[in-house]
Amino acid sequence: MITKISGESKTHRCWNGRDDISQHYLGGVPHTEHKVSLTLTWKKEKQSKSHLVGKYELDMPKLLAAGFIREVDDKYLLRFQRSGGIIEIAINRSSPAFVLEKLPSSYK
């Protein structure tokens, strides 16, 4: 479903979650993209320094089948959220979540 990829690898997307936006990041991916490579960073607010969470290859149909993402029109909706010291993938705060990573130790 999700594979962590090495830090040197290039990814097709770079998304940044922020604490000041409800501690989440929501993005759409076209249905034509079944495998998505993504770099995820996180920061406290717009002017803060970004911290690398990780780089991943995501299997969108598997995440959808497991109930961690949803479909709207012609897109997969992928939502990353911070819950305490961890980053998760979930449809919303009350749905099942896939624990992705702990926040980096540099995040304070």
pLDDT in tens, 33-68: 999 999 999 999 999 999 999 999 999 999 999 999
Distance CA 2, CA 14 (A): 16
**What CA dihedral angle connects 41, 46, 48 and 52, to 10 degrees?**
0
Q: What share of the chain is helix, strand, coil (3-state, %, to 5)?
A: 5, 55, 40
Selection from 4, 9, 6 nearest residue 57 by Cα = 4
pLDDT tens digits, 17-31: 999 999 999 999 999
pLDDT of residue 70: 97
Burial of 64 per CB tally in 10 Å (0-12, 13-18, 19+): middle
